[in-house]
């Protein structure tokens, strides 16, 4: 996990949050882990936190038109961009996958890896706050300070 924290550019004060963010519900069921110790809730939180950070950056860059703000947010936060951010961290190698997920290499298709990235961001927010989230989102090019 240390190499993931280094790639993120911040360390977790509560390593259990990072572990939870990287634990799929299928793995938790198979391993007999407590029902609440998997990534699902953190992914929902991370989705909202990413939206907030992106919206704040768009508004801070000077945008004030509601339609334009919405379109820029939609373009900044989509499955492909979140997936690319996850891939740039090699996130799939850190996630604790269920046996079937691992056999099917479920992270190679669909939204699964983007959801894992959202869970990571949710955990990062709880552990390190919004400034750390913004730093990671800047590094992943999901948000920028420039006007588009």
CA-to-CA distance for 98 and 120, rounded, in angstroms? 18
CA-to-CA distance for 132 and 138, rounded, in angstroms? 10
CATH code that applies to domain 2-139: 1.10.1520.10
Question: Count of residues for the chain?
Answer: 148
Q: Is the pLDDT assigned to residue 84 strictly greater than 70? A: yes
How many whole angstroms from its chain centre is CA 10?
14
* pLDDT, tens digit, 9 for 90 and up, residues 127-136: 999 999 999 9
- What sign does the dihedral 16-18-22-25 (CA atoms) show? positive
Q: Is the pLDDT assigned to residue 64 strictly greater than 80? A: yes
Domain ranges of the chain: 2-139
Residues with catalytic roles: 47, 118
Closest C-alpha to 9, from 126, 134, 118, 96: 134
pTM: 0.94
Burial 72-109 (b: 16+ CB within 10 A, else e): bbeebbeeebbbbbbeebebbebbbbbeebeeeebbee
* pLDDT, tens digit, 9 for 90 and up, residues 101-117: 999 999 998 799 999 99
């Amino acid at each position: 996990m240390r190499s993931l924290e280094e790639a993120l550019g911040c360390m977790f004060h509560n390593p259990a949050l990072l572990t939870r963010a990287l634990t799929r519900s299928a793995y938790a069921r198979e391993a007999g882990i407590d029902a609440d110790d998997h990534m699902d809730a953190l992914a929902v939180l991370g989705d909202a936190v990413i939206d907030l950070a992106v919206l704040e950056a768009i508004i801070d860059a000077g945008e004030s038109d509601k339609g334009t703000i919405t379109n820029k947010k939609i373009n900044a936060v989509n499955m492909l961009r979140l997936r690319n951010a996850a891939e740039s961290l090699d996130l799939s190698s850190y996630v604790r996958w269920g046996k079937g997920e691992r056999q099917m290499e479920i992270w190679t298709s669909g939204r699964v890896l983007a959801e894992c990235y959202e869970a990571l961001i949710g955990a990062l927010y709880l552990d390190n706050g919004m400034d750390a989230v913004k730093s990671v989102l800047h590094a992943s090019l999901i948000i920028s300070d420039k006007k588009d």
